[in-house]
Amino acid sequence: MNTKTFKQIFTADDSTDLESTDNVLSIIEDVKQNKDAALKKYTAQFDGQQVEDFKVSAEKLKNSFESLNEEEQNALLLIKERIADYQQSIKYKDYEDGEFSYVYHPLERIGIYIPGGTALYPSSVLMTAVPAAAAGVRNIVAVTPTFSNDNITFAALYIAGVTEVYTVGGAQAIAALAYGTESIEKVDKIVGPGNKYVALAKKQVFGDVGIDMIAGPSEILLYVDESADYTASAYDIFAQAEHDVNARTFLIAESQEVIDGIQLEVNRLIDSQVRTDVIRESLKNNHYQIVDNRKELIDVINFIAPEHVSIQHRDEQEISRGIRYAGAVFIGKYSPEAIGDYAAGPSHVLPTNQTGRFSHGLNVNDFLTSHAIINLKEVTYNHIADAAKTIAKKEGLDAHYESLNIRTER
């Protein structure tokens, strides 16, 4: 096995998205021109909802949290605490050393997109808003196509430090965050997962605002051997598949017997799953492969750069040390990917579709901006100015040269 086996999987055919891109561009332009009127139109068209006021009151958020039972409240609070503690531990610190400094500042206003659709996503609230709050962002705005009494999501918004919540979704919500409307003030950066139209919209507005990433369907690479619990591995596959019909799993093992053993468990258990229809469709995207040797395994993982890598193998520690490109790596029986979706600590907003080769999962530092401070002493300036003047003259930038030279002549 080698990376050539997987190259066809990642050969993108953008032609299928041309119509979707055109539709998204039309929506964005409409929102830029017509603002709230466009939001109301698309909310009625796509969500079947007539909405006059998109903003969710602070009282509604508070009441949503208080409506939960104690177990649910404690679960949200525990997860929030774990995420906040982890994010604080990796937060960049200012550097100051005499003539040079490097300082960080939180972004002023960010927008988070919380998906709606076929499931509830309080976890996505916590995985996006809590890192922003840990960075010190003062204005955290959430948009979500949630119109029912989705108390668990509203409760998560309440405890996560979100300052404004609007019940609007889709590409129109991204456009509202990027350009502003009468109701929704423009933000500096947009983060959070969404469907294809949300991803396309984020791609189109990038540059006018910052974004975290353009996320595709969720994915996991499972590397297991005969020491793994095959039933647990089957549920790991189901957990990935139930996200949506486009999710996929790469199952890699050293023998056909391992793959067959896990497949038997998948076949035995699939009819008992709640989201069976979604899972069955999603499983069609899976790719199962036997590995030839350890080097090729590592090469394949780094080539795919999976959103999630789960290693349940007797040599799991050694294997993990060779992984350079992945959204997150889960090692051992007690670190299933599902725990990362909720309570491990790192954000579950992760790069997909090989983008982990040049990007990383969302974290507190994505909500910081930074700049250098240069305060040179005369002795330092005199030491380096001649080199700078030489290059300025070579580049033909005379004013640069004179700006440097005048300070050494006096």
Alpha carbon distance 362, 346 (integer Å): 8
Q: For strands 100-106 and 368-374, give the pairing.
A: antiparallel
CA distances from 248 to 36, 147, 389 (A): 37, 29, 56
Q: What pLDDT score does 60 carry? A: 93
Residue 281 annotated in active site: no
pLDDT at position 400 = 98
Q: What is the pLDDT, as a whole number, of residue 99? A: 95
Residue 337 appears among annotated catalytic residues = no
Q: What is the rounded distance in angstroms from the CA atom of residue 365 to the CA atom of residue 95?
A: 15
Q: What is the CATH number of domain 16-211?
A: 3.40.50.1980
Given the residues 308, 313, 348, 360, select the one marked as catalytic. 308
User: Where does the pLDDT of residue 75 fall: very low under 50, low under 70, confident under 90, or very high at 90 and above?
Assistant: very high
Side-by-side strand order, sheet with 210-211 = 164-166, 139-143, 109-113, 189-191, 210-211
The residue ranges of every structural domain in the chain are: 16-211, 217-358, 376-409
State the pLDDT confidence band at 216, using cuts at 50, 70 and 90. Answer: confident
Judge whether 16-211 and 217-358 match in fold. Answer: yes
C-alpha distances in Å from residue 364, one per residue of 224, 346, 357? 32, 10, 20
pLDDT at 19: 86
Say if residue 164's pLDDT is above 80.
yes
Q: What is the mean pLDDT of the chain?
A: 93
pLDDT tens track for 326-368:
999 999 999 999 999 999 999 999 999 999 999 999 999 999 9
pLDDT of 76: 98
pLDDT computed for residue 119 by the predictor: 67
Q: What is the pLDDT of residue 49?
A: 87
**CATH of 217-358 among 3.40.50.1980, 3.40.50.300, 3.40.640.10, 3.90.1150.10:** 3.40.50.1980
The model's pTM: 0.92
Tokens 């530092």 belong to residue: 365
> Quick check: 145 pLDDT over 80?
yes
Report, as an integer, the average pLDDT of 213-226. 93
User: What is the average per-residue pLDDT within 390-407?
Assistant: 97
Neighbours of 175 (CB within 10 A): 28
Q: What would the pLDDT profile of 55-68 be if each residue is shown by its tens digit?
A: 999 999 999 999 99
Q: Which of 219, 254, 265, 307 is catalytic?
A: 307
From CA 153, how far away is CA 146, in angstroms rounded? 9
- Position with higher pLDDT, 16 vs 50: 50
Cβ atoms of 250 and 219 within 8 Å: the answer is yes
**pLDDT tens digit string along 245-299?**
999 999 999 999 999 999 999 999 999 999 999 999 999 999 999 998 899 999 9
CA distance 133 to 113: 15
Q: What is the DSSP letter of 206?
A: B
